[in-house]
Structure 1
Amino acid sequence: MKKFTRSALAAAVLTVGSTGGVAFTSTAAAELSVNIGAVSNYYFRGFSESNDGAAIQGGIDYEHASGFYAGTWVSNVDFGFDDDGVEDLTSYEMDLYLGFADELDNGFGYDVGYIYYAYPDARNDTGSLSADFGEIYGEVSFDTGPVGLYGGMAYVVHDSDDSALQDDDMYFYAGLDIPFMDVYSAGFLVGRTRFDDSDAENYTHYTASLARDAGDWGEFSLNLEYVDESDEDLGAWVGWSKTF
């Protein structure tokens, strides 16, 4: 479940590894880019989407000089068993998104858009599942030079019968990026998921990341994940990504 941020490191801590965070800034012409990546565990907002297994991920992004962008991103997933012990047979996720983003000369940036999370082959022992859902999202950021600050939210605007999130569920987050020694960067993020259903338990998750830009070899990252109000232990995973 990809998110969009102004730096590769923020992608590493916001999403599922540094697997395609596109830096949307003003350019002289439209650009098309392709990203590929691999992670030892696919995390989304504090929880594994791959049943603690590895994932291969990648996508295609189009960016116009006006700030408009659109793209798609795919990853294998494994949600294991549901609360009734029925195996959810979903092998991959495909995200479709579009929006507008820019970074101003004074360091302030913004990103607003819509993302659709699709699980085309979702099914269980009783038949097919309708697990798709969509969110609108917005983010503001400020590049101070030594540190990049950002914060944003996502809001579910439609859901399916068996989707993980439901209408009016919200996610809030804030974080910072700290580049150092030219090729390294550290990132920290706190995110809060608020469910519209009063019976569902809201939770907060925390992410820390250390990434290294290896030039033509791509970017490597080491990441830690923690969720409060759950039985989850501290999670750790490594990731690699490259953009062409």
Structure 2
Amino acid sequence: MKKFAYSAVATAILAVGSTGGVVFTSSAAAEVSVNIGVVSNYFFRGFSETDDGAAIQGGVDYEHASGFYAGTWTSNVDFGDSTSYELDLYAGYADEFDNGFGYDVGYIYYAYPDARDEDGSLSADFGEVYGEVSFDTGPVGLYGGLAWVVNDSDDSALEDDDRYYYAGLEVPFAEVYAMDFLVGRTDFDDSDADNYTHYTASLTRDAAEFGEFSFNLEYEDEFDKDVKAWVGWSTSF
């Protein structure tokens, strides 16, 4: 489950950032970029999606000068059943103003094409609408947002009206390094479900043409309650 807000993807755990691409000749510039990455463990909101195994990930993004963007992203997963991969489709609008304030709103659909019920119907897919605001102060960047499940399949991990709130802080330093701290809260619409909070801390290093490397810590306060570490590499072109 790719981190939903496009701007957050670029700055945090599942790096999909756009550092280059194909520029199309038109009255308004547009750009297409491709991203690839490898992680030692694929985490989504505090939980491993690969049974603590490694993942190969990648996607394609389209960005228009108007602020519209759309893209797709995929990763292998391991849920202990026949499901082998995740395919995300998303679109939205994002912009940042001269005063450092930014916003990002859109929709993302999490698809698991080989996770099916006995009758062949999709059983794990779900979609979310999301919104994020951010503020670049210069020394640090602040961001926060909300994701809301608006449609789900019969056996999806999240259901209609489940909500996810998050806030984060990014601190760049020494030109090529950045620390990122995120706190997220999942509130289930089902009153019998256990709501929980998770925490992520990341150290990234921009290695220019060699991509970006990261070291990350994960913790959630309701189930495993163990600190887990993973490393990752990503690049885009």
Residue 166 of structure 1: aligned partner: 159
Distance 2:194 2:17 in 1: 29
Distance 2:94 2:132 in 1: 9
Query: Alpha-carbon deviation of 1:9?
Result: 6.1
Residue 56 of structure 1: aligned partner: 56
Residue 121 of structure 1: aligned partner: 114
Which ranges in structure 2 are unaligned for 5 or more consecutive residues? none
Residue 92 of structure 1: aligned partner: 85
Residue 73 of structure 1: aligned partner: 73
Question: Residue 106 in 1 paired to residue 92 in 2?
Answer: no
Q: How far does the alpha carbon of each residue in 1:24-82 deviate from its partner, in whole angstroms, 9 at most, with x for none?
A: xxx961000000000000000000000100000000000000000000000000012xx
Distance 1:96 1:208 in 2: 26
1:11-50 equivalent positions in 2, closer than 5 A: 11-12=12-13, 17-18=14-15, 20-22=16-18, 29-50=29-50
Verify the 8 A CA contact 2:72 2:88 in the aligned structure 1. yes
Residue identity in the other structure for 2:17: G
Aligned-residue sequence identity (percent) comes to: 74
Going from structure 1 to structure 2, the CA distance change for 1:58 and 1:9 (only over 3 Å counts) comes to closer
Residue 83 of structure 1: aligned partner: none
Match of 2:17, SS state, is coil
Distance 1:8 1:200 in 2: 27
Structure-1-length-normalised TM-score:
0.89
Verify the 8 A CA contact 1:210 1:223 in the aligned structure 2. yes
Verify the 8 A CA contact 2:63 2:69 in the aligned structure 1. yes
Distance 1:198 1:208 in 2: 29
Distance 1:159 1:149 in 2: 31
Residue 209 of structure 1: aligned partner: 202
Going from structure 1 to structure 2, the CA distance change for 1:69 and 1:5 (only over 3 Å counts) comes to closer
Residue 141 of structure 1: aligned partner: 134
Distance 1:8 1:185 in 2: 15
Match of 1:6, SS state, is helix
Residue 192 of structure 1: aligned partner: 185
Query: Alpha-carbon deviation of 1:123?
Result: 3.8
Question: Residue 220 in 1 paired to residue 213 in 2?
Answer: yes
Going from structure 1 to structure 2, the CA distance change for 1:136 and 1:9 (only over 3 Å counts) comes to closer
Distance 1:22 1:117 in 2: 21
Residue identity in the other structure for 1:68: F
Verify the 8 A CA contact 1:4 1:11 in the aligned structure 2. no
Going from structure 1 to structure 2, the CA distance change for 1:8 and 1:183 (only over 3 Å counts) comes to farther
What CA RMSD, in Å, does the superposition of the two structures yield over aligned residues? Answer: 1.7
Distance 1:158 1:179 in 2: 37
Match of 2:160, SS state, is coil
Verify the 8 A CA contact 1:98 1:114 in the aligned structure 2. yes
Residue identity in the other structure for 2:219: Y
Verify the 8 A CA contact 2:12 2:180 in the aligned structure 1. no
Residue 10 of structure 1: aligned partner: 11
Give the number of equivalent residue pairs.
228
